[in-house]
Amino acid sequence: MASKTSAGFTPTAFLKHAGPGKTIRAYRDKEVIYSQGSPADAVFYVQSGLVKLTIVSKRGRKKAVLALLQEGDFFGEGSLGRQLRRMYTATSMGPSTITRLEKVAVRRKLDRDPAFATMFTGYLLSQIARLEADLADHFFSFSERRLARILLMHRGFAQKSKSETSSLRFSQTTLAEMVGTTRGRVSRFMKEFRTKGYVRYNGGLEIDSERLTAFLEG
């Protein structure tokens, strides 16, 4: 949970309301928030719902899901650096509410609000750690471990959106795109996870976080 400032507001309170340099918009299922190659001119914050980040190769022959984002996540933060064009496409999965922040507004907030700057920096560091773990798994072809991490993320989505559990049943095709492998391999891994008690099906997918975490640490 984010710490409160002296004024009694959490660092993310700034993101929940429209204002100078900030707009809030509701998106429909499968609606594109921005496309790969479009100008990188703002940072986005997920107020509610899920957002999928995908990238397509230059020749358009390969497509990969980079991440699924949930309430409290940022995306498009590369625009704060030297990124001039979007490197991936952001799409709403189901209905979502997204805050768009112009680069100038974010930079001004980071300069003037230490609590917000600490929260934002912490988020970026956690994302770097996740990307490093994903890269290691790709390098060593540990598709099974990458799938386990994605399932743990799925459990987090369910905890934050209990009223929308039915919308969180990702297809094995989507999981395969995220893992970077085939749907057949994901199906085999899921059967193994079920046998080992990592997951179970009870009107939907249930995740045993302790066992999956132990598997990843082991």
Domains of the chain: 11-135 (2.60.120.10), 141-217 (1.10.10.10)
- pLDDT value of residue 66: 85
Q: Which pTM was predicted? A: 0.75
Q: How far is CA 191 from CA 2, 102, 203, in A?
A: 37, 45, 16
Query: Which DSSP helix (H) or strand (E) runs through 102?
Result: strand 89-102
Mean pLDDT value of segment 152-181: 64
Q: How deeply is 167 buried, as exposed, middle or buried, from its count of CB atoms within 10 A (0-12, 13-18, 19+)?
A: middle
Q: Which one of 8-12, 74-78, 141-145, 209-213 scores highest in mean pLDDT?
A: 74-78
**pLDDT > 70? residue 164:** no
For residues 135 and 95, the model is more confident at 95
| Averaged pLDDT, 28-56 | 95
Residue linked to tokens 């999928």: 52
Integer Cα distance of 55 and 71 in angstroms: 21
Per-residue pLDDT band for 169 (boundaries 50, 70, 90) equals low
Q: Span 56-79, mean pLDDT? A: 87
Do 178 and 65 contact (CB within 8 A), yes or no?
Answer: yes
Confidence of residue 5 (pLDDT cuts 50, 70, 90): very low
pLDDT of the residue at 156: 59
The percentage of the chain sitting over the pLDDT mark of 90, rounded to a whole number, equals 49
Residue that has been written with the tokens 């209990």 in this structure? 162
Q: How confident is the model at residue 199 (pLDDT cuts 50, 70, 90)?
A: confident
Dist CA 101 CA 208 (whole Å): 37
pLDDT value of position 119:
94
Report the Cα 100 to chain-centroid distance in Å: 16
With bands split at pLDDT 50, 70 and 90, how would you rate the model's confidence at 11?
confident
pLDDT for the residue numbered 170:
67
CA dist 56 and 32 (Å) reads 14
Q: How confident is the model at residue 155 (pLDDT cuts 50, 70, 90)?
A: low
The phi and psi torsions of 56 (rounded to 5 degrees) equal: -120, 140
